[in-house]
């Protein structure tokens, strides 16, 4: 990255903050809790996909099929979220 390293890090941090704000707006978690639970951008994006599926007006079979098809991306996020409730 060289001379662009600091700019790239700043951009990553800003994107993570913006995603955390958006996730906090659609969940019961505040931005700090979202950041703690889902520090990586890919985790936040997986959370958004998972929430869209949870809120979708589809049958449970379709929701389960989505989870099965996307277990590697959204499964770890689901476990992180469930862990907060235990």
What whole-number distance in Å separates Cα of residue 14 and Cα of residue 32? 14
b/e code 11-47 from CB counts within 10 Å (16+ = b): eeeeebeebbeebbeeeebebeebbebbeeeebbbbb
> Could you identify the residue written with the tokens 């993570």?
16
Q: Would you tell me how many other CB atoms lie within 10 Å of the CB of residue 80?
A: 15
Segment 8-21 shows an average pLDDT of 79
Whether the pLDDT of residue 19 is over 80: the answer is no
Whether the pLDDT of residue 79 is over 60: the answer is yes
Contact 78, 50 (CB under 8 A): yes
Tens digit of each residue's pLDDT (9 = 90 or more) over 38-64: 888 888 888 888 888 888 888 888 888
So what's the pLDDT on residue 27? 67
């Amino acid at each position: 990255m060289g001379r662009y390293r600091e700019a790239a890090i700043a951009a990553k941090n800003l994107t993570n903050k913006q995603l955390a704000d958006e996730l906090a707006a659609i969940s019961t978690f505040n931005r700090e809790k979202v950041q703690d639970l889902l520090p990586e951008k890919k985790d936040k994006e997986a959370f958004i996909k998972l929430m869209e599926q949870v809120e979708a007006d589809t049958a449970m079979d379709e929701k389960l099929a989505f989870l099965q098809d996307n277990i590697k991306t959204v499964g770890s996020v689901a476990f992180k979220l469930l862990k907060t409730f235990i």
